[in-house]
Structure 1
Amino acid sequence: METQSDNPFLATISVVVPVYRGESTIARVVGELERFTKPSTTINGVGYVVSEVLLVNDSGPDNSATVINDLAGKHDWVRPVWLSRNFGQHAATLAGMSSSTSDWIVTIDEDGQHDPGQIALLLDKAVEENSSLVYAKFAGGAPHSKWRNIFSTTAKWFYTKFLSPQDGEFFSSFRLMSGEIGRSVGAYAGSGVYLDVALTWVVEKSVVCEIPPRAEYPRQTGFTFKRLLSHFLRLVLSSGTRPLRLVSIIGSLSFLFGVLYAAYV
């Protein structure tokens, strides 16, 4: 399948979808993307086309693999990417980014909460701001459960305040990035790296594009508290030496407190 258009002014886009428990939703997501596989134009006049959709099978517990195979057989622009075991959302997304071939990469979730029609807004924002990385931000907040939103907000606040305050203040799984940057990060970032932290290594500053909210399709979320905690630990461990320095300071203060307490007793 050719991913470059004959029109040199038509931006090609690879859409990467990590799939863990998408048996009941991924076909609908692909169906929504289909109309953008023909040349379209953004509000600001930027021509673009979705040249490929990469469905990354993250070895989930349902029959997502069968659905992915069926979709790949039906559409020549659907490319499956197979992982040997479950590595998690960020590693699956990185695998898809590494396999992409287009000018731009867009990452979206498997559950349909991200509207493919909003990709044009992200592309316009990237051109306006001359940015290679754009995050979509739902107006009014992400359509998740209250506890998940609180956990995510707290984790991102902790990251920007204590770990890497010079980086952007907002991360989202609905992203648009230049293909060159996405493939370079996918090539050298390991499976244990937090994707958005890895992107800060090569992108000086990301920008945010506010989009209208969209209700998630009914489904059982794959994000348990254990998985969210795992995401947070990956975020901390991927943030360079600052977390190690923080742990060292806490350890030193604890030792000093212990010595003073022992002397007092």
Structure 2
Amino acid sequence: MISAPETWLVNYSVVVPVFQGQDTLPSLVEQLQTFFAEINCSYELIFVHDGGHARAWDVVIQLRQKLGPAFVQAIRLSRNFGQHNALLCGFGYAKGQFIVTLDEDLQHSPADIKLLIQRQAQGNFDVVYGCYSARQHAGWRNLTSILLRQMLRLGIPELHADYSAFRLLKTEIARHCLTMHNSYTFLDGYLTWVTNSVASVAVTHQPRSVGRSSYTVGRLVRHSVNIFITFSDVPVRLLTYTSLLLFSCTSGYSFYILLRKLIYKDLLPGFASLIIAIGFGTGLLFLGMGILGEYIHRINQKITKRPDFVVRETYTE
């Protein structure tokens, strides 16, 4: 992969994960060409084929042949690693001072990149998200997105509230994400570990013009669970605090039964020893589970060595 150059070769690197964009990529490229011609900035397009439709890869190669290798880099992964992993791969090949990420389905308008650029310049932010006043997804998708964001606001409070797949970020910041190898890749979670210089700006969200989203309810649920387990300590903290509460309650009740047995002696034979064994023992088990969960949480953060992606072939020169 390309290491960070001393001087940037272009102003902007546009990284697009490709899964089933065979019908939308030509139009997306045309809009990007028009936009960058208007602002008179140098750019490159980086398409990362994430194990999707074979025709989509053919279209990427055709666009590279049409526009030339100076404008289009094409990377093909060995299988589907997920959108965030594909973006990480693209970051490693970026030659621009800034990276723009957007989807292949034309729901992100290339013309709105100008809004991201202007917002970044206002505060020299490391990351700028494009946020949507109205999302043009299906009703169930909008509902699950709202629920997920509310959960993440509680579980990962440092995550920017307006995070989205439409981003502008400094390449030097993006490259830090390549050094992280976690059990699950959540790019926006990585960015919270790297910087808090983050802003957002309102952009349009276009209706899907071709095909339908590859995200199903099941995939979104798995995505949410993986984010919580990997990037939030709320689940393990909930287990720990619950264990401490149960240990305190059961131990307190066991102590009460012991005193009653010694002072009043009004309990049936064997009742006190049974309650103490069950109450104190159960509380101790829950406490042990909480402590064990804390250790597992830390081990999960440190030892994962699964690759984020594997590149099958590249056209980058």
The two structures have a TM-score, normalised by structure 2, of 0.70
Output the CA distance in 2 between the equivalents of 1:257 and 1:142: 47
Per-residue deviation, 1:189: 4.4
Question: Which stretches in structure 1 are left out of the alignment for 5+ residues?
Answer: 1-7, 42-46
Decide which of 81, 87, 103 is 1:87's aligned counterpart: 81
Output the CA distance in 2 between the equivalents of 1:247 and 1:80: 45
Decide which of 177, 200, 206 is 2:198's aligned counterpart: 206
Per-residue deviation, 1:170: 1.9
State the partner residue of 1:117. Answer: 111
Decide which of 34, 48, 64 is 2:56's aligned counterpart: 64
Counterpart code for 2:135: A
Output the CA distance in 2 between the equivalents of 1:48 and 1:257: 66
State the partner residue of 2:129. Answer: 135
Residue pairs, 1:1-265, within 5 angstroms: 12-38=11-37, 40-41=38-39, 48-49=41-42, 51-76=43-68, 77-139=71-133, 141-161=134-154, 163-190=155-182, 192-239=184-231, 241-250=233-242
Question: Which stretches in structure 2 are left out of the alignment for 5+ residues?
Answer: 1-6, 254-274, 280-317
Per-residue deviation, 1:241: 3.9
Indicate if the aligned counterparts of 2:25 and 2:104 stay in contact, CA closer than 8 A.
yes
Per-residue deviation, 1:48: 3.4
Output the CA distance in 2 between the equivalents of 1:151 and 1:37: 35
3-state DSSP of counterpart to 2:173: helix
Aligned-residue CA RMSD (Å): 2.8
State the partner residue of 2:304. Answer: none
Per-residue deviation, 1:245: 2.3
Output the CA distance in 2 between the equivalents of 1:37 and 1:191: 37
Indicate if the aligned counterparts of 1:13 and 1:52 stay in contact, CA closer than 8 A.
yes
Per-residue deviation, 1:156: 1.4
| TM-superposition CA deviations, 1:60-98 (whole Å, max 9, x none) | 145211111111111121111111110011111111112
The alpha-carbon distance between structure 1 residues 257 and 93, as it changes in their structure 2 partners (threshold 3 A), is farther
Output the CA distance in 2 between the equivalents of 1:243 and 1:256: 20
Counterpart code for 1:127: A
3-state DSSP of counterpart to 2:11: strand
| TM-superposition CA deviations, 1:178-216 (whole Å, max 9, x none) | 011112213434572211000111111421100234222
Output the CA distance in 1 between the equivalents of 2:243 and 2:29: 50
Percent identical: 30
Counterpart code for 2:24: T
Larger Rg: 2
Counterpart code for 1:143: Q
Output the CA distance in 2 between the equivalents of 1:99 and 1:244: 37
Indicate if the aligned counterparts of 2:158 and 2:192 stay in contact, CA closer than 8 A.
no
The alpha-carbon distance between structure 1 residues 138 and 188, as it changes in their structure 2 partners (threshold 3 A), is same
The alpha-carbon distance between structure 1 residues 65 and 255, as it changes in their structure 2 partners (threshold 3 A), is farther
Output the CA distance in 2 between the equivalents of 1:146 and 1:258: 46
Output the CA distance in 2 between the equivalents of 1:72 and 1:255: 64
Output the CA distance in 2 between the equivalents of 1:81 and 1:142: 30
Per-residue deviation, 1:13: 0.7
